[in-house]
Amino acid sequence: MITDYKEIQHSALELDENHRAELAKKLIDSLDQRIDEDIEQAWIDEVKRRKAEIKSGKVTPISGQEVHKAARELLKK
């Protein structure tokens, strides 16, 4: 088993992109094992609220490209 940090890093960087992404996610997930149930529920509620607003027509979604364009325009001012 590889235990030296430099060896692990070298081996990890030689993985293909998909495996590196999977490894990165697992490493990040391992840093915070605690899940705050209140925060988790707040995000679920927010997603449901936004979905309902879109379905009802109250909100019209715009593309990320449009958001970036508008942000660039605001930053020019």
My answer on whether 41 and 63 are in the same domain is yes
My answer on whether 21 and 44 are in the same domain is no
My answer on whether 57 and 72 are in the same domain is yes
Summarize the confidence of residues 33-57 as an average pLDDT.
93
My answer on whether 48 and 70 are in the same domain is yes
Number of domains in the chain: 2
In this structure, the dihedral spanned by the alpha carbons of residues 29, 32, 33 and 34, taken in order and rounded to 10 degrees, is: -140
What is the per-residue pLDDT for 2?
66
Burial class (CB in 10 A: 0-12, 13-18, 19+), 34: exposed
Summarize the confidence of residues 29-52 as an average pLDDT.
91
My answer on whether 42 and 72 are in the same domain is yes
Instruction: Give me the domain span that covers residue 51.
Output: 37-76
Q: Are 50 and 59 in contact (CB under 8 A)?
A: yes
